[in-house]
């Protein structure tokens, strides 16, 4: 691989991020980065794009294995239960047909048949248990036994229902004979096992009560053994059923085994009592945390890739004494390159309120700060140096690209400055008009100046939405309304600067050859007593630019200039009205603009 250069720097940075470079190659790359520090941004991007795989171990992997269920045996027992149910119903109906002397005989035959069926099913259960113990694991055996016991529970219910229907037709003597027959038949089958059915009832407090019933007729659970009820807290509302078998004699004093919590060691969660209120606040907080995390990641992505800034148009305005950075603070850094602008304006030339203003502005985009940074220095001299105003402003404007067509650009601007007064050059002055349409009384009623210097600081905020089709913005300056008491010595009621509000909207049409463009705009501003709106446009053909504007105060303005790739020059003349003299005077303004090359990051965005 050849040495690092601008043509293959992406390949080198990729190999560096993957750890495939040797020590000598790393030294070559580091030397190249030192000589070209703007490429460090790409190295940071490559490092952030690398994802280190992490190994996640699921703590309950055994629960992911699906256990084989005895489907065939389940269908077999279900079919046997259905057949037994219909057979029991049929025999029960037949027993009522022979009401008379044959009723007792039919009843005995019915019980004999039922007992025989129960014996056969118990034998089948025992055989299947042995088979499952050899072929399947304990979990499968428990599931199979559960299905069989549920079937037996259905059979037992059918037998009991039949007994109730039959016994309701006979007197107590026939009922005693029936019980005797059943007990004798049951004792004759000592080899069969007793089955208990354990089931769960869901209570209102969120717990499950596990109860046990025997399938034997006439035998109650003894209180001498384990309690019939065993409270088991589980994580779902499903019914738990399990059959327990033992080689015991059919003795009513013996108790059927009841399942305990240890027998149901399903998992740690199944032994936790349900609290229906536990899913409230904790779940909501977790959801809000994930939403905030997702929102912060989305904001970070919008700031890391400000692709929509390629739609910025770099407009020009005819508003007297204002650069694009003055009309919208958020324009700082929107060009993704360094921009230097200068303005010199001679306002109301030859009048007693003549003013000379100079301004220099530098702004650019900083990837490290994810936004634009601008510095602006102003100086104005009124009435030949009678009043001098100097200020410096620092602007920061983060850039958020919603998509490739829309950018959202807020801004904040801190300004501080100094105003100085030379009373000797202001002799005879009664009024001062430093800002257009804002006339201030200069030390009225024979007052004498009490100072010569005033320091101030203030804050401004702005917002611009830049789209592929148009741009729109608004801002407010002098949020703190700093003291401006340079025209009076009234300390009890000092003069304060007014809010300076500006709103703008505009667009830019460019033909396919990109050698012709038309850029209309509209600007509204309110500053103390000044309230006006400007409507104007600029037309460019190749490098030649001409424009015009008109305000609601009937102030006309026109411009002519040259615009190249890195440099532009514009001369602007306006015939604005002075409220102090009540006359219109010609004002001249010259603007220069220098645009540097975009950084490597800026080139990547502009070429997308």
E strands along 203-338, which residues? Answer: 208-214, 230-232, 242-244
Provide CB contacts within 8 A for 463, sequence distance 6+: 330, 408, 409, 410, 411, 473, 474, 475
So what's the pLDDT on residue 558? 97
Backbone φ and ψ of 564, nearest 5°: -115, -175
So what's the pLDDT on residue 192? 39
Q: Is a pLDDT exceeding 90 seen at residue 517?
A: yes
**C-alpha span between 587 and 261 (Å, rounded):** 95
For residues 15 and 237, which has the higher predicted lDDT (pLDDT)? 15
Confidence of residue 269 (pLDDT cuts 50, 70, 90): very low
Query: How many residues appear in the chain?
Result: 608
- Exposure string of 471-509, with b = 16+ CB inside 10 Å and e = fewer, is bbbbbbbbeeebebbbbbeeeeeeeebbebebbbebbbe
Task: Write the pLDDT tens digit of every residue in 22-34.
Answer: 888 888 888 888 8
Name which of 152-156, 190-194, 498-502, 591-595 the model is least confident about: 190-194
**C-alpha span between 437 and 431 (Å, rounded):** 12
Q: Is a pLDDT exceeding 70 seen at residue 65?
A: no
Question: For the packed helices 103-135 and 138-167, what is the interaxial angle rounded to 10 degrees?
Answer: 180
Name which of 228-242, 414-428, 478-492 the model is least confident about: 228-242
CB 486 within 8 A of CB 419: yes
**C-alpha span between 225 and 256 (Å, rounded):** 8
**C-alpha span between 332 and 325 (Å, rounded):** 7
So what's the pLDDT on residue 89? 56
The per-residue DSSP string of 137-191 comes to -HHHHHHHHHHHHHHHHHHHHHHHHHHHHHHTTS-HHHHHHHHHHHHHHHHT-TT
Q: Which residue has the tokens 């208990």?
A: 196
Six-digit token string for 487? 């025209």
Task: Write the pLDDT tens digit of every residue in 274-307.
Answer: 344 444 444 445 577 788 877 888 888 888 888 8
Confidence of residue 358 (pLDDT cuts 50, 70, 90): very high
Q: Is a pLDDT exceeding 60 seen at residue 153?
A: no
SS (H, E, C) 385-432: HCEEEEEEEEEEEECEECCCCEEEEEEEEEEEEEEEECHHHHCCCCEE
**C-alpha span between 74 and 36 (Å, rounded):** 76
Q: Coil, strand, or helix at residue 599? A: coil
Q: Is a pLDDT exceeding 80 seen at residue 75?
A: no
User: Average of pLDDT values for 226-251?
Assistant: 39
* HSE-up of residue 12 (Cα within 13 Å, Cβ side): 24
Nearest partner of 313 among 461, 467, 463, judged by Cα: 467
Name which of 124-138, 192-206, 581-595 the model is least confident about: 192-206
So what's the pLDDT on residue 230? 40
Number of helices (H) and strands (E) in the chain: give both, helices first. 10, 22
Whole-number average pLDDT of the chain: 74
Confidence of residue 181 (pLDDT cuts 50, 70, 90): very low
Please classify residue 363 by burial: count the beta carbons closer than 10 Å to its beta carbon, then call 0-12 exposed, 13-18 middle and 19+ buried. buried
Confidence of residue 344 (pLDDT cuts 50, 70, 90): very high
So what's the pLDDT on residue 260? 41
Six-digit token string for 428? 């005879």
So what's the pLDDT on residue 211? 40
Confidence of residue 271 (pLDDT cuts 50, 70, 90): very low
Q: Is a pLDDT exceeding 70 seen at residue 108?
A: no
CB 498 within 8 A of CB 528: yes
For residues 232 and 516, which has the higher predicted lDDT (pLDDT)? 516
Six-digit token string for 263? 């027998």
Nearest partner of 194 among 154, 244, 125, 159, judged by Cα: 244
Sign of the C-alpha dihedral computed for residues 304, 305, 308 and 311 taken in this order:
positive
Q: Is a pLDDT exceeding 70 seen at residue 63?
A: no
Backbone φ and ψ of 397, nearest 5°: -135, 100
**C-alpha span between 235 and 274 (Å, rounded):** 6
Confidence of residue 21 (pLDDT cuts 50, 70, 90): confident
User: Average of pLDDT values for 453-469?
Assistant: 93
Confidence of residue 553 (pLDDT cuts 50, 70, 90): very high
User: Average of pLDDT values for 1-25?
Assistant: 83
Please classify residue 131 by burial: count the beta carbons closer than 10 Å to its beta carbon, then call 0-12 exposed, 13-18 middle and 19+ buried. middle
Nearest partner of 237 among 287, 186, 276, 265, judged by Cα: 276
Confidence of residue 600 (pLDDT cuts 50, 70, 90): confident
Q: Is a pLDDT exceeding 50 seen at residue 493?
A: yes
Q: Is a pLDDT exceeding 90 seen at residue 248?
A: no
Six-digit token string for 264? 């149901």
Confidence of residue 162 (pLDDT cuts 50, 70, 90): very low
Domain regions of the chain by residue span: 1-50, 66-192, 194-278, 307-520+566-574+583-606
Q: Is a pLDDT exceeding 80 seen at residue 324?
A: yes
User: Average of pLDDT values for 339-356?
Assistant: 92
């Amino acid at each position: 691989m050849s040495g690092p250069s601008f043509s293959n720097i992406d390949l080198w940075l990729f190999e560096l991020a993957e750890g495939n470079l040797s020590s000598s190659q790393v030294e070559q790359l580091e030397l190249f980065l030192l000589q070209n520090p703007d490429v460090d941004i790409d190295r940071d991007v490559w490092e952030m794009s690398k994802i280190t795989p992490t190994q996640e171990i699921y703590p309950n992997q055994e629960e992911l294995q699906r256990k084989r269920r005895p489907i065939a045996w389940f269908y077999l027992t279900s079919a046997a239960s259905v057949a037994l149910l219909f057979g029991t119903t049929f025999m029960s109906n037949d027993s009522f047909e022979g009401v008379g002397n044959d009723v007792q005989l039919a009843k005995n035959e019915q019980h004999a048949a039922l007992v025989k069926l129960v014996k056969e099913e118990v034998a089948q259960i025992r055989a299947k248990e042995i088979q499952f113990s050899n072929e399947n694991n304990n979990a499968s055996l428990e599931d199979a036994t559960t299905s069989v016991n549920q079937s037996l529970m259905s059979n037992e219910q059918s037998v009991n229902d039949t007994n109730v229907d039959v016994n309701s037709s006979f007197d107590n003597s026939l009922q005693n004979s029936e019980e005797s027959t059943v007990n004798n038949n049951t004792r004759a089958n000592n080899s069969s096992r007793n089955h208990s059915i354990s089931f769960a009832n869901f209570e209102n407090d969120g717990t499950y009560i596990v109860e046990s019933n025997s399938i034997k007729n006439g035998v109650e659970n003894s209180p001498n053994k384990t309690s019939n009820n065993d409270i088991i807290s589980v994580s779902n509302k499903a019914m738990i059923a399990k059959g327990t078998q033992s080689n015991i004699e059919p003795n009513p004093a013996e108790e059927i085994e009841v399942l305990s919590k240890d027998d149901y060691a399903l998992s740690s969660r199944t032994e936790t009592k349900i609290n229906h209120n536990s899913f409230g606040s904790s779940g909501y907080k977790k959801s809000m945390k994930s939403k905030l995390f997702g929102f912060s990641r989305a904001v970070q992505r919008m700031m890391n890739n400000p692709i929509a800034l390629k739609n910025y148009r770099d407009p020009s305005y005819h508003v007297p004494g204002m650069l694009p950075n003055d009309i919208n603070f958020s324009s700082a850094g929107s060009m993704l390159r360094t921009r230097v602008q200068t303005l010199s304006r001679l306002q109301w030339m030859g009048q007693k309120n003549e003013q000379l203003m100079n301004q220099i502005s530098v702004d650019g985009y900083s990837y490290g700060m994810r936004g634009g940074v601008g510095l602006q220095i102003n100086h104005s001299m009124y009435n030949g140096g009678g009043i001098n105003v100097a200020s410096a402003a620092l602007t920061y404007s983060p850039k958020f690209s919603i998509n490739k067509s829309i950018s959202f650009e807020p801004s904040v601007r801190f300004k501080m400055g100094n105003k100085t007064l030379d009373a000797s050059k202001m002799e005879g002055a009664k009024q001062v008009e430093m800002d257009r349409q804002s006339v201030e009384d200069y030390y009225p009623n024979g007052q004498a100046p009490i100072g010569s210097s005033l320091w101030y600081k203030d804050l401004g905020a702005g917002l611009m939405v830049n789209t592929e089709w148009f741009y729109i913005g608004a801002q407010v300056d002098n949020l703190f309304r700093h003291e401006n008491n340079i025209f009076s010595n009234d300390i009890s009621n000092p003069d304060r600067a007014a809010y300076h509000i500006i709103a703008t909207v505009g667009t830019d049409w460019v033909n396919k050859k990109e050698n012709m463009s038309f850029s209309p705009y509209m600007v509204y501003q309110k500053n103390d007593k000044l309230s006006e709106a400007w409507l104007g446009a600029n037309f460019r053909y190749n490098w030649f630019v001409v424009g015009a504007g008109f305000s609601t105060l009937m102030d006309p303005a026109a411009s002519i200039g040259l615009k190249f790739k890195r440099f532009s020059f514009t001369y602007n003349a306006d015939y604005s009205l002075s409220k102090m003299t009540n006359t219109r005077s010609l004002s001249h303004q010259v603007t220069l603009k220098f645009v540097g090359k975009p950084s490597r990051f800026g080139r990547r965005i502009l070429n997308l």
